[in-house]
Amino acid sequence: MTNPEPLLAWYASLTPDTVARAGQFYAADAQFRDPFNDVRGVAAIEAIFHHMFVTTEQPRFIIGERVVQGQQAFVTWQFVFSLRGKAYQVEGGSHLRFNADGLVIMHRDYWDAAEELLAKLPLVGAPIRWLRRRFRVTLPATAGRT
């Protein structure tokens, strides 16, 4: 069984200076995919994290639940950051597959970019919020809501 804890500790303490340690956790040809990127290789994965530090203020990951089964894991997380002084939080999860050496060969992030990010932005969010209101089901007062 693979132990994702060293990788998760790296994520939880990630800084611009520690991004260069990605090669300790990712195989040379690892794939990383999220709603905005689909790249292969450690250098490309490092570029995504460098970009994160350039485009957001004080980004950090808060690691949540972990499910490990054989050579794979699923981890929930919160990505907390600021843009122009306003705080944001994105909730998501990552599916990780490891090789026999314990290195990540596939990292796929799952999160709803429209709900978790775009709808919260001032200009872009207005049409998304309108669409959500338009298509939301109106339940009778006796029906449960979540």
Beta bridge partners of 91: 78
Q: What pLDDT is recorded for position 41?
A: 98
Give residue 127's pLDDT: 62
Instruction: Give residue 126's pLDDT.
Output: 65
CATH number, domain of 89, equals 3.10.450.50
Say whether both 64 and 45 belong to one domain: yes
- Examine the domain organization and report whether 19 and 48 are in the same domain: yes
Co-location of 103 and 117 in the same domain = no
Together in a domain, 79 and 94 = yes
- Using alpha carbons, list the distances in angstroms from residue 3 to 9, 56, 93: 11, 30, 17
Domain check: are 94 and 73 in the same one? yes
Is 56 found in the same domain as 21? yes
Residue 25's φ and ψ, nearest 5 degrees, are -115, -25
Range(s) of the domain holding residue 144:
112-146
Please indicate, yes or no, whether residues 123 and 60 belong to a single structural domain of this protein. no
**Predicted local confidence at residue 133, as pLDDT:** 67
- Count of structural domains within the chain: 2
Answer yes or no: do 40 and 15 share one domain. Answer: yes
Residue ranges of the chain with pLDDT lower than 70?
Answer: 113-136, 143-146
pLDDT for the residue 119: 56
79 and 102 both lie in a single domain: yes
- Are 89 and 120 within one domain? no
Same domain, 75 and 141: no
One domain, residues 39 and 79: yes
pLDDT at 140: 79
> What pLDDT does residue 2 have?
87
CA–CA separation, 146 and 43 (whole Å): 42
